[in-house]
């Protein structure tokens, strides 16, 4: 039985490491380090500044983000709603200037970007758009 030369052993090790690394990256959604979890864009469509808090709750637990937005400003909460191995329901609760103004129920079946639009201190809309 012949032993591998140093060069053959090194090449085999590099090939194995490459395959293992590729497999790990493939599990991250698109292979570029992005998990592919849905994001939430919060937009202030009002003429006044508002402080907003967004809470998502579901089988994944609870996640909270907040922002102070001036008129016509927005922010993006990346990977805010986790994808699970199954279709799951979750709730988005939006608080504006300390008052809860919106509670909506959603089912995550495919990747969506969610848009939360602050219309004024008492009115918020939550929409999910299929983008993939």
Single pTM value for the model: 0.69
Instruction: Look up the CATH number of the domain holding residue 100.
Output: 2.60.40
Q: Report the domain count for the chain.
A: 2
Spatial distance between the Cα atoms of 105 and 107, rounded to a whole number of angstroms: 7
pLDDT digits (tens, 9 = 90+) for 55-106: 999 999 999 999 999 999 999 999 898 888 888 899 999 999 999 999 999 8
Lowest-confidence region among 1-15, 23-37, 61-75 = 23-37
Query: Are residues 89 and 107 both part of a single domain?
Result: yes
- Quote helix, strand, coil % in the chain, to nearest 5: 15, 50, 35
Q: Are 19 and 72 part of one and the same domain?
A: no
| 42-76 burial code (b ≥16 CB/10 A, e <16) | bbbbbeeebebbbbbebeeeebebebebeeeeebe
61 and 21 within one domain: no
* Distance (Å, whole) CA 57 – CA 110: 18
Residue 129 has pLDDT above 90, yes or no: no
Domain extent, residue 88, equals 40-130
Per-residue pLDDT band for 35 (boundaries 50, 70, 90) equals: low
């Amino acid at each position: 039985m012949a032993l591998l030369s140093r060069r053959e052993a090194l090449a085999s090790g590099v090939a194995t490491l490459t395959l293992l690394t590729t497999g790990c990256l493939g599990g991250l959604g698109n292979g570029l380090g992005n998990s592919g979890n849905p994001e939430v864009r919060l937009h202030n469509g009002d003429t006044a500044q508002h402080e907003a808090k967004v809470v998502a709750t579901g089988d994944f637990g609870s996640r909270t983000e907040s922002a102070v937005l001036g008129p016509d400003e927005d922010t993006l909460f990346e990977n805010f709603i986790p994808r699970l191995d199954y279709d799951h329901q979750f709730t988005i609760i939006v608080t504006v200037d300390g008052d809860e103004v919106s509670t909506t129920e959603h089912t995550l079946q495919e990747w969506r970007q969610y848009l939360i639009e602050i219309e004024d201190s008492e009115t918020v809309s939550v929409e999910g758009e299929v983008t993939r």
